[in-house]
Amino acid sequence: MSLSFFWSREFLTNRYFLWLLFWCNAVGTVYGYIWYGDQLERTLAEQPLWQIVFVPDSPTASLFFTLALLWVLYKPKSVVLNRIGHVIQALAVVTSVKYGVWAVSIIFAGWMQGGSPHWQDWMLIASHSAMAIEALIYVRFFGFRWVALLIASLWTLLNDTMDYTYDIFPWLPGSLYEHLDGVRNFTFGLTLVSILCAWLALRQAKRT
């Protein structure tokens, strides 16, 4: 068996493998929301209720990807459900690439500013790298087009705006708070790069 088999449609869309991927992402999503527990509690206590949806960034990205897999497993006949699925798939790609790369970058930036590595950091590096990689691998099996990508782009930019306007961005390594302007600029820039990656992957998918 050649290595190319593991990149093939036959392997990647095998229902057993898709369900394995689904449950891995579902468990990771639940763990991610638990990880955000303290920040969610503080936001509920100190901020308006409507802001809570913008707090857990990476778990929500993982949730989008988990749901997106359902549209690969079960293709609905309803046009409305298809359109909803396309938006979820576009959100899955843009946010998984964005927050996957963001988390890894922030961890390394914290280390460069004198922070000490912990085992949880390596776990987060592995899981968030996987988020970005799987989104780019599966974009060719998703059915979204430009309108859905535009909606996903606007949502992600709105989320960035809410995070850094109301200080509900993910908690950072302590050494990075004095560089918050740089983190904010990096975050917005990474969103634009993630949108571009999704657009390029979408173009490539249409050619294959």
What would the pLDDT profile of 177-207 be if each residue is shown by its tens digit?
Answer: 999 999 999 999 999 999 999 989 877 766 6
pTM of the model as a whole: 0.94
Cα distance between residue 101 and residue 61, in whole Å: 12
Q: For residue 135, what are its two tokens?
A: 């989104």
- Among all chains, which residue has been given the structure tokens 């449609």? 9
Q: In which band, very low, low, confident or very high, does the pLDDT at 10 lie, cut at 50, 70 and 90?
A: confident
Instruction: Please give the pLDDT value at position 149.
Output: 96
Mean pLDDT in residue range 124-148: 94
Report helix angle 180-207 to 146-165, nearest 10: 170
Report pLDDT digits (tens) over 56-96. 999 999 999 999 999 999 988 899 999 999 999 999 999 99
Calculate the average pLDDT of the chain: 93
Burial (CB count <10 Å: 0-12, 13-18, 19+), residue 37: exposed
Amino acid 114: pLDDT:
84
So where are the chain's domains?
A: 3-207
What CA–CA distance (Å, rounded) separates 136 from 130?
A: 10
Secondary structure class of 118 (helix, strand, coil): coil
Of all residues in the chain, the percent with pLDDT exceeding 70 is 96
- State pLDDT tens for residues 145-173: 899 999 999 999 999 999 999 999 999 99
In our burial notation (b when 16+ CB lie closer than 10 A, e otherwise), range 120-143 reads ebeebbebbebbbebbbebbebbb
